[in-house]
Structure formats: C-alpha cells, structure tokens
C-alpha cells in the first residue's frame, strides 16, 4: 500500500455522503467495516458497524469473500480509501466508503456515541 492510496480514489469505489451511507447500511446487503483503531472506535462509532482496523484488514483480505459488497468508514475518508485500494488490488469490486468519514458523519448527524 502506497501513500497515494490514502489520497487517490480507486477506480470503482462508490463514495457516499452521510445520508446515502446511512441508507446503504439500512439495506442490510453490505458488510460494513470501520477501519479505524480500537480507541477511535470506542470513542465514537456508527451502531452495528464492525471494527477491523486497517492493518488487520490488509492482513486478512484473503479470508474475505470477494463477491460480497463492502462499505468502509474511517475518521476522514483517507484510511477507508486506502483500504478500498488494497481490496481492489485483491479482486474486490463492490466497495463503497463514507466520503469524509466520521468527521462528515458527525457534522451531519451530530456527535453522539453509538448512533
């Protein structure tokens, strides 16, 4: 994973704003993963979203189903973009992320633990 993965949007990555991300989560057809650290997740996260830190996700990509659909979230959108780039290189094609991450989410919905 290169430094540009944090800033360049990978081909095919769907970028969601907070409202659309919330709607996509409620569909129930995506595996939703927060790629932040455990400490960040503990302070604030979207209810029902599983934590798999970016480092751990990169190490376990071979165990994930490449045919499933994934939604990714982090603090600002950089780590989720990097996670998506790593996933694309491994053959995953159905990936979306929360553009602006939890910062955008909290700006839209307000800061509240376990939303």
Q: Which domains does the chain have, with CATH numbers?
A: 31-109 (3.40.250.10)
| 12 CB-near residues (< 8 Å, 6+ apart) | 88, 93, 95
Predicted confidence pLDDT, tens digits, the chain (115 residues): 566 666 677 889 999 999 999 999 999 999 999 999 999 999 999 999 999 999 999 999 999 999 999 999 999 999 999 999 999 999 999 999 999 999 999 999 987 654 4
Give the residue among 72, 103, 105 at the shortest CA–CA distance from 87.
Answer: 72
Q: Which residues pair with 97 in a beta bridge?
A: 15, 72
DSSP 17: -
Report how far residue 79's alpha carbon sits from residue 5's, in angstroms, rounded to the nearest whole number: 8
pLDDT of residue 7: 64
pLDDT of residue 22: 97
Q: Which residues pair with 95 in a beta bridge?
A: 70
Q: Which residues pair with 14 in a beta bridge?
A: 96
C-beta neighbour count of 88 within 10 angstroms: 16
pLDDT of residue 10: 81
pTM, two decimals, is 0.91
Positions of E strands within the chain: 14-16, 31-34, 50-51, 70-73, 95-98
């Amino acid at each position: 994973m290169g430094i540009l993965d944090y800033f360049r949007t990978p081909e095919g990555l769907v970028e969601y704003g907070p409202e659309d991300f919330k709607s996509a989560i409620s569909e129930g057809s995506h595996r939703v993963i927060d790629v932040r650290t455990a400490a960040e997740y503990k302070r604030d996260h979207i209810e029902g979203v599983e934590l798999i830190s970016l480092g751990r996700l990169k190490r376990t990509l071979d165990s994930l189903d490449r045919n499933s659909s994934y939604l990714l979230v982090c603090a600002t959108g950089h780590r989720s973009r990097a996670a998506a780039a790593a996933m694309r290189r491994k053959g995953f094609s159905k990936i979306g992320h929360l553009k602006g991450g939890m910062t955008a989410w909290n700006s839209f919905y307000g800061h509240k633990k376990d939303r």
